[in-house]
Structure 1
Amino acid sequence: MNTDFPSSDMELTHILVVSNMESSRSFYRDVLGATIVREYGGTSCVLNFQGSWLLLVTGGEPTKDKPTVTFAPPQDANKISHAMTIRVPDCQSAYETLKSRGAVFLTPPVDWGAEIRCFFRDPDGHLLEISQAL
């Protein structure tokens, strides 16, 4: 039995539950620049972004391997339990680029002394951050 955990041949995938696959796929592909790796029957889309895996899935009822869990997109965009940070070399430049591609930011970049950061949401309200270390 192999007891190596974690091991170098493992990868982490973030699962995001979305309400509209087309708009979410377009956001991650066209706004963020993620690469679509594969799609499954209109209910799942696997993307690669900066070496990380994102799996977009539409909602679903419990299954035998998660018997009490229902997948559903966020109900309140102002209550967050998961967010992703994209570390960038120039926050202002990344902000301008993403804004020109359709990202809607909560505020322009804010300088906190040790970092400059700002936040935006995907079509379902999942929170993303761009951050520049100073």
Structure 2
Amino acid sequence: MSRVRVENEVYMMPPHRGFTVAHFLTVADIERSARFYETVFGGHILSLGDSSGAPGYIQIANTWLIVNIGGGPTPDKPSVTLRVPPDPNSVSSFMNIRVADVRGCFECWRARGAEFITEPMEKYGETRCYIRDPDGYIIEVGQSKSAVVYG
């Protein structure tokens, strides 16, 4: 179980049973990325990592974001190298945030410094737009239309 110390308090990364899903991003600068997610999305920075290579932890809404600098293979992933995407216009995955009011979030988060690729647009039964984080990762922000049923 991961433990994160914040101002003399210890937060234990969930879960206490079962499992949760956290998102990991390879970043160029842990503090810069953590501050972005704190400022734009109201995230709570639990840790900015340490000099021995521990990652940063940010709690955002109902999820955890783990950020760490890249690096070469390690014993538990001997053929994997982590790096920031070399081309921010060529991606294979992205974070997806579902909101109740996409236009309100667009205005609020843009005022907090988020760089949107476009304004919210209608597509596939939803209204959505995308943000770029400091390392070029894209984040989809979408609002489903009430008439759309999934499943």
Q: TM-score surpassing 0.5?
A: yes
Deviation at 1:128, TM superposition (A): 0.2
Deviation at 1:24, TM superposition (A): 0.6
User: 2:80 is aligned with what amino acid?
Assistant: V
Equivalent position of 1:4 in the other structure: none
Q: State TM-score, norm by structure 1.
A: 0.89
Residue pair 2:34, 2:48 contacting (<8 A) in 1 also: no
Deviation at 1:47, TM superposition (A): 1.0
- Cα distance change, pair 112–60 in 1 and its aligned pair in 2 (3 A): same
How far, CA to CA, are the matches of 1:18 and 1:123 in structure 2?
8
**Larger RCO: 1 or 2 (CA < 8 Å, sep 6+):** 1
Q: Give percent identity, aligned residues only.
A: 37
User: 1:27 is aligned with what amino acid?
Assistant: F
Structure 2 unpaired stretches of 5+: 1-16, 146-151
Kindly provide the CA deviation profile for residues 20-74 of structure 1, in whole angstroms up to 9, marking residues without a partner as x: 2221111011111111122321552111111111100001111111011111111
Structure 1 unpaired stretches of 5+: 1-7
- Cα distance change, pair 9–112 in 1 and its aligned pair in 2 (3 A): same
Match of 1:104 among 94, 115, 126: 115
Q: State TM-score, norm by structure 2.
A: 0.79
What is the DSSP-based 3-state SS (H/G/I as helix, E as strand, rest coil) of the residue aligned with 2:115? coil
2:51 corresponds to 1:58: no
Task: State the aligned residue count.
Answer: 128
Kindly provide the CA deviation profile for residues 83-118 of structure 1, in whole angstroms up to 9, marking residues without a partner as x: 111111111100000000000001000022611000
What is the DSSP-based 3-state SS (H/G/I as helix, E as strand, rest coil) of the residue aligned with 1:9? coil
How far, CA to CA, are the matches of 1:110 and 1:74 in structure 2?
26
Runs of at least 4 residues of structure 1 off by over 3 A? Answer: none
- RMSD of aligned residue pairs (Cα, Å): 1.6
2:17 corresponds to 1:17: no
